[in-house]
Structure 1
């Protein structure tokens, strides 16, 4: 009887450890998702909210992979593209509408808006205002943005700027 009790206690203990381990792993994934979500929110507030590219290395890996064909590769390409966009659109604004995170991937749904006052992407100033929706998807690695994909209403952007009829 004593042996049966020991065996049952061992089985229950093992079950609790296994279940606890699963829960801890689950909690770890949830915590990492939350950290990644906060990381992207901080990046958005500093870089897009304040149009401040000075701390870009804090948020983006040097070899940042960009899947938008308009934006050059790497942190340097990101800096150049957004510096040009910020200069061409002095009232440039980004509004974060929704942010979702799972594991190492974070999705941000937002609105880009402003008035096109200077040359950008080879397009002379149109003095037209625009407002477009976009979904930006980032992969985060070692606490930094490592890769980016987006779905952006570029047709709507160019139409609002008067570039397309």
Structure 2
């Protein structure tokens, strides 16, 4: 069973941080020494705020679904699906108000009720494909 407190953090992460771009919610949901582990290294809370400023300029009209939520000890895993409208500003891809879909999984680690670490794997390559940045029929899709 998933604790209501951890589930609420995940719901607020998508509803307030992503959909609204509310940067103050990071102060409430994460520890001071929060770390987001990405393929480019470790990112702080301040770096996550910078990312969100960029993201809110590039994507609008977000809708998120938490498909699966699994809790074990201090960890919460969320498999999610999101839809958003691309407004331009990513790799010089022209803006056509195109609706795109993202899927992914986030692993939150909690310390004293707040997120202290996070990992995320998502479908950025699929979004680039949908936006026409990757040529069609150049790779197999499984």
Asked if Structure 1 and Structure 2 have the same fold, meaning a TM-score greater than 0.5 normalized by the shorter chain, the answer is yes
Matching residue within 112, 116, 125 for 1:142: 112
User: What are the superposed Cα offsets for residues 81-129 of structure 1, whole Å, 9 maximum, x if unpaired?
Assistant: 1221122112233222221111110011111221211313x44443232
Aligned length: 134
Q: Tell me which stretches of 4 or more aligned residues in structure 1 moved more than 4 Å.
A: none
**Contact 1:53/1:79, CA 8 A, preserved across alignment:** yes
Structure 1 match to 2:43: 73
Superposition CA RMSD, Å: 2.3
- Structure 2 counterpart SS, 1:107: strand
Of 64, 74, 95, 1:126 maps to 95
Q: Is the 8 A contact 2:62 2:84 kept in 1?
A: yes
Q: TM-score, normalised by structure 2?
A: 0.79
Instruction: Give the structure with the larger strand fraction.
Output: 2
TM-score (norm 1): 0.69
Match of 1:12 in 2: none
In structure 1, runs of 5+ residues without a counterpart are: 1-29
Structure 2 gaps, min length 5 = 136-142
Q: Which has the greater radius of gyration?
A: 1
Corresponding residue to 1:116 among 86, 99, 102: 86
**Does residue 1:55 correspond to 2:25, yes or no?**
yes
Change (3 A) 1:126 1:162: farther
| Distance in 2, Cα, partners of 1:83 & 1:95 | 22
